[in-house]
Amino acid sequence: MTVNRAQKEQLRVHIRWMIRRDMPEVLNIEQQSFEYAWTEEDFLRCLRQRNCIGMVAEQSEKVVGFMIYELHKSKLHILNFAVSPSCRRQAVGGQMIGKLVGKLSSHRRTKITLEVRESNLAAQLFFRSQGFKAVRVLRRYYEDSGEDAYLLHYCLAGDIVEDFEEEQVNRIAQYEGNQ
Protein backbone atom coordinates (compact mmCIF):
# COMPACT_ATOMS: atom_id res chain seq x y z
CA MET A 1 0.00 0.00 0.00
CA THR A 2 1.37 3.41 -0.91
CA VAL A 3 0.73 6.55 1.07
CA ASN A 4 -0.46 9.37 -1.14
CA ARG A 5 1.37 12.68 -0.97
CA ALA A 6 -1.37 14.58 0.91
CA GLN A 7 -1.43 11.94 3.66
CA LYS A 8 2.36 12.04 3.97
CA GLU A 9 2.42 15.84 4.17
CA GLN A 10 -0.11 15.98 7.05
CA LEU A 11 0.62 13.43 9.76
CA ARG A 12 -2.12 13.85 12.39
CA VAL A 13 -0.79 13.58 15.92
CA HIS A 14 -2.15 13.58 19.46
CA ILE A 15 -0.36 16.10 21.69
CA ARG A 16 -0.30 15.20 25.38
CA TRP A 17 1.69 15.71 28.58
CA MET A 18 5.08 14.02 28.59
CA ILE A 19 5.33 11.11 31.04
CA ARG A 20 8.31 9.20 32.38
CA ARG A 21 7.94 6.25 29.99
CA ASP A 22 8.26 8.65 27.01
CA MET A 23 11.87 9.45 27.95
CA PRO A 24 13.62 6.76 25.81
CA GLU A 25 11.78 7.91 22.66
CA VAL A 26 12.30 11.59 23.52
CA LEU A 27 16.03 11.02 24.09
CA ASN A 28 16.28 9.16 20.78
CA ILE A 29 14.65 12.06 18.90
CA GLU A 30 16.88 14.53 20.77
CA GLN A 31 20.07 12.64 19.84
CA GLN A 32 19.02 12.35 16.19
CA SER A 33 18.16 16.07 16.06
CA PHE A 34 20.98 17.94 17.77
CA GLU A 35 24.78 17.88 17.76
CA TYR A 36 24.73 19.16 21.37
CA ALA A 37 21.89 16.99 22.66
CA TRP A 38 20.32 17.25 26.09
CA THR A 39 20.94 14.31 28.42
CA GLU A 40 18.24 12.53 30.39
CA GLU A 41 19.42 14.45 33.46
CA ASP A 42 19.02 17.75 31.56
CA PHE A 43 15.41 16.84 30.78
CA LEU A 44 14.64 15.71 34.32
CA ARG A 45 16.27 18.75 35.95
CA CYS A 46 14.19 21.02 33.72
CA LEU A 47 10.92 19.12 34.16
CA ARG A 48 11.26 19.20 37.95
CA GLN A 49 10.86 22.99 37.83
CA ARG A 50 7.40 24.17 38.80
CA ASN A 51 6.92 26.33 35.70
CA CYS A 52 8.34 23.83 33.16
CA ILE A 53 6.09 21.65 30.99
CA GLY A 54 6.90 18.77 28.65
CA MET A 55 4.59 17.61 25.90
CA VAL A 56 4.88 14.94 23.23
CA ALA A 57 3.32 14.49 19.81
CA GLU A 58 2.18 10.90 19.46
CA GLN A 59 1.14 9.02 16.35
CA SER A 60 0.00 5.39 16.58
CA GLU A 61 1.28 5.19 20.18
CA LYS A 62 4.76 6.27 19.07
CA VAL A 63 6.35 9.57 20.15
CA VAL A 64 7.23 11.52 16.99
CA GLY A 65 7.99 14.93 18.52
CA PHE A 66 8.31 16.78 21.80
CA MET A 67 8.54 20.24 23.30
CA ILE A 68 9.68 21.56 26.64
CA TYR A 69 8.57 25.06 27.60
CA GLU A 70 8.41 27.38 30.58
CA LEU A 71 5.40 29.33 31.75
CA HIS A 72 6.12 32.98 32.55
CA LYS A 73 3.76 35.76 33.55
CA SER A 74 3.34 37.18 30.04
CA LYS A 75 4.88 34.53 27.76
CA LEU A 76 5.69 30.91 27.02
CA HIS A 77 9.39 30.22 26.47
CA ILE A 78 10.36 27.16 24.41
CA LEU A 79 13.46 25.46 25.81
CA ASN A 80 13.60 22.42 23.55
CA PHE A 81 11.58 21.40 20.49
CA ALA A 82 12.16 18.54 18.05
CA VAL A 83 10.40 16.25 15.59
CA SER A 84 11.66 12.78 14.68
CA PRO A 85 13.66 12.97 11.42
CA SER A 86 11.34 10.38 9.84
CA CYS A 87 8.29 12.59 10.52
CA ARG A 88 9.61 16.02 9.54
CA ARG A 89 7.82 18.08 6.88
CA GLN A 90 4.55 16.37 7.75
CA ALA A 91 3.00 19.15 9.88
CA VAL A 92 3.94 17.59 13.24
CA GLY A 93 5.89 20.68 14.35
CA GLY A 94 3.11 22.95 13.13
CA GLN A 95 0.57 21.07 15.21
CA MET A 96 2.81 21.40 18.28
CA ILE A 97 3.18 25.16 17.70
CA GLY A 98 -0.60 25.35 17.21
CA LYS A 99 -1.04 23.78 20.65
CA LEU A 100 1.21 26.47 22.19
CA VAL A 101 -0.50 29.31 20.32
CA GLY A 102 -3.81 27.97 21.68
CA LYS A 103 -2.49 28.54 25.19
CA LEU A 104 -1.97 32.28 24.57
CA SER A 105 -4.59 34.83 25.53
CA SER A 106 -5.01 38.55 25.01
CA HIS A 107 -5.25 39.15 28.79
CA ARG A 108 -2.34 37.08 30.07
CA ARG A 109 0.32 35.31 28.03
CA THR A 110 0.55 37.02 24.66
CA LYS A 111 3.84 35.74 23.20
CA ILE A 112 6.06 32.73 22.68
CA THR A 113 9.84 33.10 22.70
CA LEU A 114 12.82 30.84 21.99
CA GLU A 115 16.46 30.92 20.98
CA VAL A 116 17.71 29.15 17.85
CA ARG A 117 21.33 28.45 16.95
CA GLU A 118 22.69 30.60 14.15
CA SER A 119 23.70 27.40 12.31
CA ASN A 120 20.24 25.79 12.59
CA LEU A 121 18.75 27.10 9.37
CA ALA A 122 16.05 24.41 9.25
CA ALA A 123 14.69 25.54 12.65
CA GLN A 124 14.93 29.21 11.68
CA LEU A 125 12.91 28.59 8.50
CA PHE A 126 10.38 26.39 10.33
CA PHE A 127 9.69 28.94 13.08
CA ARG A 128 9.52 31.76 10.54
CA SER A 129 6.90 29.76 8.60
CA GLN A 130 4.92 29.54 11.87
CA GLY A 131 4.84 33.33 12.30
CA PHE A 132 7.90 33.85 14.52
CA LYS A 133 10.13 36.89 13.99
CA ALA A 134 13.80 37.21 14.86
CA VAL A 135 14.15 40.19 17.20
CA ARG A 136 17.73 40.00 18.46
CA VAL A 137 21.10 38.33 17.95
CA LEU A 138 22.48 36.88 21.18
CA ARG A 139 26.27 36.83 20.84
CA ARG A 140 28.09 33.69 22.08
CA TYR A 141 24.84 32.46 23.62
CA TYR A 142 25.64 28.73 23.64
CA GLU A 143 28.21 27.70 26.23
CA ASP A 144 28.93 24.37 24.49
CA SER A 145 30.14 25.95 21.24
CA GLY A 146 30.24 29.73 21.74
CA GLU A 147 27.76 30.00 18.88
CA ASP A 148 25.39 32.94 18.47
CA ALA A 149 21.63 32.52 18.74
CA TYR A 150 18.66 34.32 17.29
CA LEU A 151 15.95 35.31 19.77
CA LEU A 152 12.62 34.58 18.11
CA HIS A 153 9.19 35.89 19.14
CA TYR A 154 5.67 34.95 18.20
CA CYS A 155 3.16 37.56 19.32
CA LEU A 156 -0.57 36.99 19.57
CA ALA A 157 -1.26 40.44 18.15
CA GLY A 158 1.24 39.79 15.35
CA ASP A 159 3.44 42.76 16.22
CA ILE A 160 6.95 42.81 17.65
CA VAL A 161 6.81 43.22 21.41
CA GLU A 162 7.04 46.65 23.03
CA ASP A 163 10.21 45.87 24.97
CA PHE A 164 12.12 45.67 21.69
CA GLU A 165 10.82 48.87 20.10
CA GLU A 166 13.58 51.04 21.53
CA GLU A 167 16.41 48.72 20.51
CA GLN A 168 18.92 49.59 17.83
CA VAL A 169 18.59 48.40 14.27
CA ASN A 170 17.29 44.87 13.90
CA ARG A 171 20.17 43.26 11.96
CA ILE A 172 18.15 40.22 10.98
CA ALA A 173 15.37 42.30 9.47
CA GLN A 174 17.99 44.24 7.47
CA TYR A 175 18.86 41.05 5.61
CA GLU A 176 15.19 40.39 4.94
CA GLY A 177 14.83 43.84 3.41
CA ASN A 178 12.45 45.01 6.15
CA GLN A 179 14.52 47.95 7.44
Residue ranges, the chain, pLDDT below 50: 1-7, 158-171, 173-175, 177-179
* pLDDT confidence of residue 166: 35
Taking alpha carbons only, the member of 54, 72, 51 closest to residue 63 is: 54
Residue 7 belongs to what H/E stretch?
A: helix 5-9
Contact 116, 127 (CB under 8 A): yes
Q: Are residues 69 and 151 in the same domain?
A: no
Whether 41 is in a domain gets the answer: yes
pLDDT at 9: 67
19 and 95 housed in the same domain: yes
pLDDT tens digits for 73-92?
Answer: 999 999 999 999 999 999 99
Whole-number pLDDT of residue 30: 97
Q: Count how many Cα atoms sit within 13 Å of the Cα of residue 37 in the half-sphere of its side chain.
A: 13
pLDDT in tens, 24-50: 999 999 999 999 999 999 999 999 999
Looking at residue 74, the DSSP 8-state letter turns out to be S
Count of domains for the chain: 2
Res 3: pLDDT: 45
Is the same domain home to 98 and 147?
Answer: no
Q: Is the CB of residue 12 less than 8 Å from the CB of residue 64?
A: no
Query: Which residues neighbour 58 within 8 Å (Cβ) at sequence distance 6 or greater?
Result: 13, 14, 15, 16, 64
Radius of gyration of the CA atoms of the chain, in A: 17
Q: What is the pTM assigned to this prediction?
A: 0.82
Same domain, 100 and 115: no
Pairing of strands 62-71, 14-17: unpaired
| Separation between Cα atoms, residue 67 and residue 144, nearest integer Å | 21
In this structure, are 63 and 116 located in the same domain? Answer: no
Closest CA to 77 of 18, 152, 157, 13: 152
